[in-house]
Chain A
Amino acid sequence: MVNTFSRSLSRKRIMSNDGMVIGTLKNILVDLESGQVVDLIVRPDPTFDVTGYRVDGDRLLIPFEAVKDIKDYIVVDRFLSKQ
């Protein structure tokens, strides 16, 4: 079981599992009633093509379901992250 502190995640880089850097983590959306972690709020890199992703202003929303692993990078599944 892997636990991590939310502050250690801030400003981590997000990478999809095909090796593309998506951007940097800005915040995390949680459901405080159930405790579920819902979404990652990501600031996309200027060169990253955001078509197909959920966009809120200049921020990108990536479902936490897509997260594969978190070490030096946050690796997300490139198909699940577009839902």
Chain B
Amino acid sequence: MKSQITDVLGLSVYTDRAVFVGDVDDVVIDLDRKTIRALALGNLNTDIIDIKGYKGLQIPFRMIRSIGDVILVRHMPGLFKQKAKA
């Protein structure tokens, strides 16, 4: 399915455990392989990601499960901080 790249910008990104990660700010294109390399996220959920002074986060394209009205990425226990259990 072909989509325009502007359709992806601004979409919300969630993990497959339904945790909000951030919004898509930009798409990183690999010019040699002619593929999407990563999504650059802004407006990050600081509860699960500590970016320590960096402005955003890039999610590699292979981590993405599906793209529709929102974007789902694989939940990686090492990458995202676990929510404190109540």
Query: Are A2 and B32 neighbours in the complex by a CB distance under 8 Å?
Result: yes
A54 to B58, CA, bound (A): 34
Q: Using A28-B4, A32-B1 as known contacts, say yes or no to A4 and B29 having CB atoms under 8 A apart.
A: yes
Q: Is A70 an interface residue (CB 8 A)?
A: yes
Query: Are A27 and B31 neighbours in the complex by a CB distance under 8 Å?
Result: no
Task: Number of B interface residues at 8 Å Cβ cutoff, please give it.
Answer: 23
Interface of A is mostly: strand
Interface of B is mostly: strand
On chain B, the residues within 8 Å of A41 by CB distance are: 4
On chain B, the residues within 8 Å of A4 by CB distance are: 28-29, 31
On chain A, the residues within 8 Å of B5 by CB distance are: 6, 27-30
Min Cβ gap A31→B in Å is: 6
Contacts of A28-83 to chain B: CB distance below 8 A: 28-39, 41, 64-65, 67, 69-70
Contacts of B21-76 to chain A: CB distance below 8 A: 26-32, 34-38, 40, 61, 67
Query: Are A37 and B29 neighbours in the complex by a CB distance under 8 Å?
Result: yes
A32 to B28, CA, bound (A): 13
A-B contact pairs, 11 of them (CB 8 A): A1-B32, A3-B31, A4-B31, A6-B29, A28-B5, A29-B3, A30-B4, A32-B1, A32-B67, A37-B36, A38-B2
On A, residues with C-beta under 8 Å from B are 1-7, 9, 27-39, 41, 64-65, 67, 69-70
